[in-house]
Structure 1
Amino acid sequence: MTGFQNEFKGVTRGSDLLLRWDVNATASYPLVVYSRLINQTSESGANSLEINITTGLNATSFLWKCVPYPLPYLATALYEVEVRPQNQVGSKGAIASSSYFTVSSESDEEDKNENGLMNPFNETTILPSRPTNQPVSQGGVNNNTAIAAGLVVPVFVILAIFGFVWLQRRQKKIIEEKRKQREDLCID
């Protein structure tokens, strides 16, 4: 596996990063660029999130705008970038893979200069269990379920009200017809 031609040093939040990699003779186009974030939450735990940055790429470079978007920015997280064939699942067949790197904000750079080197795992930051850009959740209510419930429940209530009103009118009509039949019998 070849690597990127980039050095992933001094990457700052919101900047643009031109990713360049060597062409592998056996590479199958189109390509996909993935970015991964790993955030250590405790000594034995970590959260990871992988997002597809682009699909259908037929080149040896890609301009990643507004790093680390679409991943969230976490000062304590480590980031990684991989280029894979579009039909490849998992990182085993990656064409290019970066080493883990940090993304800092401008204020982080000032803090590093004043306080020396910063340990990225000093603070514990926990990723949300269900990122907002993922439509499917693992064991919770997802957006599609909430939308369906929000539409089905009011429709069911409205139909129940109409059904109740229709039954009341029907019953009133039947009682009125029976009363008329009795009056007709009594008058004759």
Structure 2
Amino acid sequence: MTELDSIHNQVISCTKCDLCKTRTNAVPGKGNKNAEIIFIGEAPGRSEDLRGEPFVGSAGKKLSEMLEKAGLSRESVYITNVVKCRPPNNRVPTELERNSCIEYLNNEIKAINPKIICIMGNTASNSILGKGEITKNRGKIIEKDGRSYFLTFHPAATIYNQELIPVLEKDIQNLVKALDEIKGT
């Protein structure tokens, strides 16, 4: 069993917070165990809760389209969330819920050891970097604890605000360029 398999099993049996009582399925991260990029969102939505996989609903479809436009496949990256269970009515996860899951996220990052981590949205940014303000910081790389983090909007934001679609598409393209710079290619 790989380290990611172990994390997956811990996530699906987790009872650290009350979200375990309302979930259909816990949603561990999924993707390439050797990914150079990890994408991190907020929490599973309804589709993700039903299927037990991250980013399979409408926001996930948007993300997949943008990855393809930037020359990436979902199979080449790893996609996960800060919180591994769906909060009721898709509300923002509480600090307790985020703290209950942060060890799983940190272990996913450690196991994969990506070259760059794409943080999508305020909740993920707050949880990982201690700062929200995605509008102010999007498109930027922030270095913390020896890791490179690229900040952008959550794909769900483009569903409610169509004007963000080209912005997020450009951010994903810039993320790929940033990865190439980090790799020295």
Q: Same fold (TM over 0.5)?
A: no
TM-score (norm 2): 0.30
TM-score (norm 1): 0.29
Which of these two proteins has the greater Rg computed from alpha carbons? 1
